[in-house]
A and B are shown apart, each in its own frame.
Chain A
Amino acid sequence: MKALSESHYWATNKKKSKETDQLSPFKVLVRKEVSDHVHSWRFILLLALVLLTFFASLYISMSNIRASFSNVNDPDHAFLYLKLLSATDGSMPPFHILMSFLAPLLGITMGFDAINSEQNSGSLTRLLAQPVYRDNILLAKFYSAMLIIATLFISLTLLMIGGGLFFTGVRIESQEFLRIIGFSVLTIVYVGFYLSLSIMLSVAFRHASTSALTALGIWLFFTVFYPILVNLAIRAFLPDAAYLTQGEKLAYNELIMDIMRVAPGQLYSDGATTMLMPSIRSLGPMSMEQLSGAIPSPLPLRESLIIVWPQLTGLLAGSIAFFALSYYLFMRREIRS
């Protein structure tokens, strides 16, 4: 009887969904945004750049995988697949370092004209005259770009694992797999940070070029000038290391690292190295007492995750903050162009 009523329920439910075979406005928006992104030239260009980076770094690490795999001095040498992503012969930076440059560019490209181009072309007025909530428009812009980026990185990762399996024939450890997935998630979050930053700028500025330049400026500041500025400030303000005790030195070191971690790129590369190099035990300085009994061996995944957790949270918090700010700016904005 129960089964019958249940099947009846399903039948009516199906009928209902057939009757109202309409898409929710959010889905419609996402669909259009995704197709716009996929067909736009700049996305195709960036996609080519990411793919090129990926395959070039994979090629280089493949060609000297034997050397790094049999390097017994390296505690991580047994992680073949992690080595594929992080090993290099010095001719090219490893994939995760390249990504710390490319990912912001990807995020900025996908978001810098999200709102202002629509406002300038006049399509925003038309869009808002439809029964759609304003936040749905913003969310659809963010969500569709994230969808594309997530698909891109997850498929790249799977491609790499598949390729590795095919060429080396070595079985992948579950820990390695999870670490690589963790790395991809971190990369996606990092792109998301710059995406929400650039969407916020696209709401704040009327002209697409202004918002693009501002976003690029912020990115350049954090990757190039911020470390220089921090170094200058340290030299000017911090006392000479020769007059410091061990404990003070450690405290200052910790402080410097914390200041450096204001830059999202630093957070990302901290996280990425921890995920890809299991032997990293701490991202800050360690005292001799802490190191004295330690055997240089890889950490289990859980411990590595605990180390990168603050980094991941920081990036997520940053993205959410910018996204909230764009909401705030957009919700009560006059939409006439």
Chain B
Amino acid sequence: MEAIIDLKNLCKSYGSYVAVDQLNLKIPHGEIFGLLGPNGAGKTTSILMMLGLTEPDSGSAIICGHNATRDPIKVKRVVGYMPDNLGFYPQLTGLENLVFMARLNGLAETGIKENARKILELVGLKAASDKPASSYSRGMKQRLGLAEVLIKKPKLIILDEPTLGLDPSGVKEFLELIKSLQREQGLTVLLSSHHLHHVQQVCDRVGIFVDGKLLATGDLPTLSHQLFGNTGVETSIHLTEELADPAILKAEFSTFPEINGLIVNDRILQFNTTQDITPKIVRRLVELGANIQAISHKQYGLDEIYAKYFEKNTNLTPKHESA
């Protein structure tokens, strides 16, 4: 399958500040890809380069077979882009805003309004379609933005921080909408976010983007394997009373090939395993006569990935975004 997005050695710097550094990325058709990174990591800059709205210093961005820098109009015809701060013409109604964008995309004049109404219904804005855009709430604006993206019948949708400023239920609804649309219409979706949980919900694959560099890509299990190879699964077992002799226990479990480490801390046993073997451990413990109170089981998810990569960068705000 040919890649919808094919970025090669994309670089962009503003003065001495490097926004995007040697970005290589391939996204195949029909995938939901999440670009995950903290604020100012260069996500928006990368997206703008994919649309030909910002010129890269070097490297190339091939989107749907067109070079985004040389041929931005062709790219823009097949790509729907929803920017992070959506601004609509406040004097026009939602429907008028949508029809305006549809006309700019060269949609046929006949039935353009009916088409727009249909799309508005699809994104759940039917009731508000004739209200001025200035009266829209944040969530409604996001929906209108999505409608604008959909009306041009794109092959690829790029959503920049689509969940920004939405309340939790709004986020859930919005992501489900994107997911269902992707399934029904066979779209390719690229969404950027700094909310890992949102990305986790919908994305097939995730790219971790920090300081202009793409550190890792892949689906979540692969990612956690890549990043936390040996730690894998962590199982904590709480016992009712302290063990008499931890050494016996350690000797007992050292025969298990899956166990990488065992930490005994008073009544808490912490197992680090390559695979999930919790039942096996529990059975063994019971055989040894230990009284188990609680078991907590933890797989390395985005939280850990996030913590590993982002926490050291949280109080950094690059110049171009704070300006």
Q: Which residues of A contact B (CB under 8 A)?
A: 20-23, 25, 28-29, 32, 36, 39, 118, 121-133, 332, 334-337
Contact = CB atoms under 8 A, between A and B. Distances in A.
A125 B100 CA distance: 15
Contacts of A123: 87-89
Nearest to B148: A126
Interface of B: 44, 48, 51, 53-55, 73-74, 76-77, 79, 81, 83, 85-91, 100-101, 103-110, 145, 148, 152
Given A36-B91, A121-B87, A130-B76, A25 B106 contact: yes
24 contacts: A23-B103, A28-B100, A32-B89, A32-B100, A121-B90, A123-B87, A123-B89, A125-B53, A125-B85, A126-B87, A126-B88, A126-B101, A127-B104, A128-B53, A129-B76, A130-B76, A131-B76, A132-B104, A332-B55, A334-B54, A335-B53, A336-B44, A336-B48, A337-B87
A337 B109 contact: no
Contacts of A36: 89, 91
A132 B90 CA distance: 21
Contacts of B89: 32, 36, 123
Given A131-B104, A133-B73, A337 B51 contact: no
Given A28-B100, A126-B101, A336-B48, A131 B87 contact: no
A208 to B, nearest CB: 14
B109 A23 contact: yes
Nearest to A32: B100
A294 B19 CA distance: 74
B108 A21 contact: yes
A320 to B, nearest CB: 26
A123 B90 CA distance: 10
Contacts of A124: 87
Contacts of A122: 83, 85-87
A131 B105 contact: yes
A32 B92 CA distance: 10
Contacts of A128: 53
A125 B77 CA distance: 15
Contacts of A20: 108
Contacts of A25: 103-104, 106
B162 to A, nearest CB: 14
Nearest to A335: B53
Question: Which label, helix, strand, loop or mixed, suits the secondary structure of the B interface?
Answer: loop
Contact of A21 (B73, B86, B90, B109): B109
Contact of A22 (B74, B83, B109, B148): B109
B85 A337 contact: yes
Contact of B110 (A21, A32, A121, A129): A21
Interface centre among A23, A128, A129 (most CB of B within 10 A): A129
Given A129-B83, A130-B76, A336-B44, A22 B53 contact: no
Nearest to A132: B104
Shortest 6 CB-CB contacts between residues of A and residues of B = A122-B87, A121-B87, A129-B81, A123-B87, A28-B103, A131-B76
A336 B152 CA distance: 22
Contacts of B101: 126, 130
B77 A131 contact: yes
Contacts of B83: 122, 125-126, 129
B99 to A, nearest CB: 10
Nearest to A334: B54
Given A36-B89, A131-B104, A335-B48, 9 more contacts: A22-B108, A22-B109, A122-B83, A122-B85, A125-B87, A126-B88, A126-B145, A129-B81, A130-B104
A205 to B, nearest CB: 15
Contacts of B152: 130
A25 B152 CA distance: 14
B94 to A, nearest CB: 14
A123 B89 CA distance: 7
Contacts of A22: 103, 106-109
A129 B103 contact: no
Contacts of A121: 87, 90
Contacts of A23: 103, 109
A148 to B, nearest CB: 16
Nearest to B99: A28
Nearest to A36: B91
Interface centre among A126, A132, A133, A335 (most CB of B within 10 A): A126
A119 to B, nearest CB: 9
Contacts of B79: 129
B1 to A, nearest CB: 25
Contacts of A127: 104
B53 A131 contact: no
Interface centre among B76, B87, B107, B148 (most CB of A within 10 A): B87
A4 to B, nearest CB: 30
A332 B91 CA distance: 29
B110 A131 contact: no
A123 B85 CA distance: 9
Nearest to A129: B81
A130 B53 contact: no
Nearest to A130: B104
Nearest to A136: B104
Contacts of A118: 87
A21 B86 CA distance: 29
A16 B77 CA distance: 22
A105 B145 CA distance: 36
